[in-house]
Structure 1
Amino acid sequence: MRNISDIIEKYLKSILHESPEGAIEIQRNELAEQFSCVPSQINYVISTRFTLEKGYLVESKRGGGGYVRIRRIELPGANSLHTYLHQMISDEIGQTAAEGLIYQLEEARFLSRREAALMRAAISREALMVKLPYRDQIRARIMKAMLISLLG
């Protein structure tokens, strides 16, 4: 069985996918009530699974009429994807940002599940056992080479 965080994430992604504006506005308390959990569980899901690195912009307003707005940031089309990736990766990239970018590319179907898994393995701290900042520089080079090869 999936845990409550996975269920909440899946629900939010499904309503976000159905939204014509590519954005949703939710009330933490109402969502917590719907899933029989505490509002901090909703905060946890949003703060860990809907990050900028993963392609989401989150705005929130606390208080009585508070809300959370989640907006999906779309990757550029195939024509300008190379420029976008070059800017995002630059000369170095940390593991969290790299994994977020791979996640975005997989979600947008630029990468298959298997290609994304191979990339994550190749750029992991465990595979790149070098000190910073060299690790982030090597990770950037590996990512660029792999993406050029995969995306043409």
Structure 2
Amino acid sequence: MKKSLADRIEQYIKVLISRSEDKSIEIQRIELAETFACVPSQVTYVLSTRFTEKDGYLTESRRGGCGFVRISQFSCPYSEGFVDNPPLFQIIDELKQSKLLNEREAEMIKYISINSCRDLPYEYKIKVSEGVGKALKEYFAY
């Protein structure tokens, strides 16, 4: 079975990342497009759909003449970062069990924590999660 262009671009990038020491690469969209004889928007499509935080990748791009795309692979114990962050949720659940929070308050804090960070990069989500957990502990002298 013949692979699609998007599949081939994805595989190529994954090989480059796996061969790098720090699991991070910098590439130029135009060079990658030339390598695969396609338009740069095809490369952009692959990057935006196959190299996401959910898939374990951080991408940073700069457009223009000296533009680049930096792709870093990370290992994350939680598939979607903040949403499934057990340390924060564990603190909230313990506060609920201790009767310091009721069910509604606990769910509201979880909802606000998740939704206020929806568009942030993964590393910021973790910092916010840690900050919320610390603030809850301080507030309740936990």
Q: For this structure pair, what is the TM-score category when the shorter chain's length is used for normalisation?
A: 0.5 to 0.7
Partner of 1:23: 24
Task: Find the partner of 1:87 among 79, 85, 88.
Answer: 85
Partner of 1:49: 50
Query: Which amino acid in the other structure matches residue 11 of structure 2?
Result: K
**Aligned partners of 2:59, 2:53: CA distance in 1, in Å?**
8
Partner of 1:102: none
Q: Which runs of 4+ in 1 moved over 2 A?
A: 90-93
Structure 1 pair 85/18, CA: closer, same or farther in 2 (3 Å)?
Answer: farther
Partner of 2:125: none
What does 1:3-152 align with in structure 2 at a 5 Å threshold? 3-76=4-77, 86-87=84-85
Structure 1 pair 86/43, CA: closer, same or farther in 2 (3 Å)?
Answer: closer
Q: CA deviation at 1:86?
A: 4.8
**Aligned partners of 1:86, 1:3: CA distance in 2, in Å?**
33
Query: Which amino acid in the other structure matches residue 59 of structure 1?
Result: E
Runs of at least 5 residues in structure 1 that lack an aligned partner in the other structure: 94-152
TM norm structure 2: 0.55
Q: CA deviation at 1:21?
A: 1.1
- Percent identity, aligned pairs only? 49
Structure with the greater alpha carbon radius of gyration: 2
Runs of at least 5 residues in structure 2 that lack an aligned partner in the other structure: 90-109, 115-142
TM norm structure 1: 0.51
Size of the aligned set, in residue pairs, is: 88
Q: CA deviation at 1:85?
A: 8.8
**Aligned partners of 1:85, 1:64: CA distance in 2, in Å?**
37
SS of match in other structure, 1:53: helix
